[in-house]
Amino acid sequence: MWYYVNGEFVEEAEAKISVLDRSFVYGDGCFEGIAISDGRVLHLDEHVDRLFRSTGALRIPLPTSPYEIKDLILQSAALNGMDEIQAGYIRVIVTRGIGPLGVSYSADLGPASIVIIPQVGQRRVAYHGDIEVYRAVITRYVRGGPRSVDPRVKANSYLPNILAFLEARDRGGDLGILQDEDGFVAEGHGMNIFCVKGTQLVTPHEESGLAGITRAHVIEVAPDLGYECREGRLAPYDLYCADEVFVTSSLESVAAVATIDGQALPDPIPGPVATAIRDLYVQQAVETGAPVPSRSASPS
């Protein structure tokens, strides 16, 4: 595999970052996880736009343009033969850069570090085959709101999400749900949440959880299938009493939830709403994806 690290493509053995990089020391940076399906990079423009919004909010100046980042992502996909695979994943990571220990140096670092990591085969990118099914647990962990790091920033610091997942696993689940500062449902440990009641779909406000790109497209396609979709507050009660609960992310596309805190949701699982939305979303996402160029020669 070929990795992009601060200006050059290198093989895994040479793909290294300094121990003084601010993401390693403080989790100081942001990232994007981008799905590749059927040789196409999904929602490329939107992911890069969100990356630049995140770096702007974190006050990390990037030494490159959105166009150049998009080109690097396509180059990375091409170098790793992703034009020939059914599913893969690209992660773009930006950090504040390298410098001495101490928060007081934060304004004096630079340039930003940029890393692109490809993945093929290590985990499922679920745009084909059966819909993933999860057992969800409402954890004690809180997703910080706008008074903290705004949840619309896809920050490298993922400790609350990781701890939520670990709590869910300890309690027999595989999806940890975080709440917002007021006790309402915010998001899953790495995905957005939708609650279905009849023909109504509700998902938490962007200010409570990540402004997911898959989430935004699901909100767009739902009316085409006869469903009304809106943002709103969801209490745990709403999930327990739902007809369906499903989650969305770049890796899962649309995945179903079978249980909440051990309480079963109505059969069938996956339900008809999640199934219909997943089918239409995946079709549109792949059709509009950016084609991966043909495999390039190894970079010199």
- Tens digits of residue pLDDT in 134-171: 999 999 999 887 778 888 899 999 999 999 999 999 99
Domains and CATH numbers, the chain: 2-119 (3.30.470.10), 133-286 (3.20.10.10)
Closest-CA residue to 234 (of 265, 171, 280, 188): 188
**Residue 149 has what pLDDT?**
82
Q: What is the mean pLDDT of residues 86-102?
A: 94
Looking at every residue in the chain, the average pLDDT score rounds to 94
The structure's pTM equals: 0.94
